[in-house]
Amino acid sequence: MALSTAEVETDESVHSTFASRYVRTTLPRFKMAEHSIPKEAAYQIINDELMLDGNPRLNLASFVTTWMEPECDKLIMSSINKNYVDMDEYPVTTELQNRCVNMIARLFNAPLGDSEAAMGVGTVGSSEAIMLAGLAFKRKWQNKRRAAGLPTDSPNIVTGANVQVCWEKFARYFEVELKEVKLREGYYVMDPAKAVEMVDENTICVAAILGSTLNGEFEDVKTLNDLLAEKNKETGWDTPIHVDAASGGFIAPFLYPELEWDFRLPLVKSINVSGHKYGLVYAGIGWVIWRNKEDLPDELIFHINYLGADQPTFTLNFSKGNITIHS
Ligand SMILES: Cc1ncc(COP(=O)(O)O)c(C=O)c1O
């Protein structure tokens, strides 16, 4: 949500042409009214004001889904009053999220076996997913450095300068330096060779984008993986890769199944994807999937006991989202 500022001028009123029959005195705009009004009038006033918003169906600039089948609308409306975090009360909703995590982990070719269990969580969108993935990388790097008696005060992430603003947000909020590979004339994505050159012992991960926000182009994750694997071998650092597949995660597996960008590449440890972009769902859902249990430090998982059973969660907010342990 945009940051709102409290207005000093409080005498302004709401203009309510069509509800005026019910509204005998003007309604204050920035403070609560002294008296209540009929709910029908309140509806009419708000509905009329909202007509001044643009029409989402005509918003061709949006990456975000603006139409779903009527059956989906019905399902959404019949579940809208459930608090997603209350997994004991809504076990079927939880089961549906578990199935989604399983499907997406498989779609992204997570290695599944007795000792390998991909994990994932539903989020509000790719931004929250990226905050969580970034936190996991930062904590893992800190744990490793502390165990080796090395300083942990200057973590960095290497990305292309074309990253979406949520990476800058992550860097600023969670105090990680963002080292951006510059773009150049005719080349508007991260150059994998330059990215690997910028990696140092404080790099918590290299973030590649599958579907650059600027032009939709896929970055070359395979070359990045191979070059980084060589550098890791030389230095012994073990620097991982995150793929920001906000836009491309639900495109590449279907249109380019041979393209290796996902968990088929050994250094790819986590991937985020927005359901509400090419996953064709209204705004408010994204996912982050980790390759393996070890890629998500246990101390970041909160075990809450809401109504009797243990509920492992890893989210930035409380009333939505839960975590699934894939088996
Ligand atoms: C590459 C990329 N990453 C992350 C985001 C943020 O995604 P969300 O809007 O789902 O938080 C976007 C949104 O445009 C994006 O294009």
pLDDT digits (tens, 9 = 90+) for 155-165: 999 999 999 99
Instruction: Quote the strand ranges of 124-181, DSSP E.
Output: 156-160, 177-181
CA 195 to chain centroid, in Å, comes to: 23
- CA of residue 14 to ligand 1 center, whole Å: 35
Return the ligand 1 atom nearest residue 130 CA.
4
Please identify every stretch of the chain with a pLDDT value under 70, giving residue numbers as ranges: 10, 19-22, 306-308, 319-327
Instruction: Please tell me the distance from the alpha carbon of residue 238 to that of residue 174, in angstroms, as a whole number.
Output: 22
The residue range of the domain holding 313 is 91-325
Q: Relative to the CA of 213, which ligand 1 atom is closest?
A: 16
59 Cα–ligand 1 center, Å: 17
User: Would you state the pLDDT for residue 306?
Assistant: 65
Does 78 fall in a domain? no
Considering the domain architecture, whether residues 197 and 292 belong to the same structural domain is answered as yes
Domain harbouring 302, CATH code: 3.40.640.10
Number of neighbours of residue 308 by Cβ within 10 angstroms: 7
Q: Is the CB of 109 under 6 A from ligand 1?
A: no
Reported in sequence order, the residue ranges of 104-155 that DSSP labels E, i.e. its strands, are 119-123
Is any ligand 1 atom within 6 A of the Cβ of residue 219? Answer: no
Non-local (6+) Cβ contacts of 62 within 8 A are: 56
DSSP SS3 for 198: helix
C-alpha separations of 8 from 3, 4, 30, 245 in Å: 16, 13, 9, 43
Same domain, residue pair 215 and 296? yes
Residues 127 and 207 in one domain: yes
- φ/ψ (deg, to 5) at 209: -110, 130
Q: Identify whether 2 is part of a domain.
A: no
Closest C-alpha among 48, 47, 64 to residue 56: 64
Identity at 240, one-letter amino acid code: P
Same structural domain, 36 and 100: no
Residues 231 and 292 in one domain: yes
Q: 210 in a domain, yes or no?
A: yes
Q: How many domains does the chain have?
A: 2
pLDDT given at position 193: 98
Domain for residue 185, yes or no?
yes
Q: Are 143 and 241 contained in the same domain? A: yes
Question: What pLDDT sits at residue 130?
Answer: 98
Q: How many CB atoms lie within 10 A of CB 303?
A: 9
What spacing in Å lies between the alpha carbon of 226 and ligand 1's midpoint?
26
- Residue 25 CB neighbour total at 10 angstroms: 10
What atom of ligand 1 comes closest to residue 211's alpha carbon?
A: 1
Q: Is residue 27 part of a domain?
A: yes
Asked if 319 and 215 sit in the same domain, the reply is yes
The whole-number pLDDT of residue 115 equals 76
Q: What is the predicted pLDDT for the residue at 320?
A: 60
Both 45 and 115 in one domain: the answer is no
Assigned domain for 58 exists: no
Q: Is 248 in the pocket of ligand 1 (CB under 6 A)?
A: no
pLDDT for 181: 98
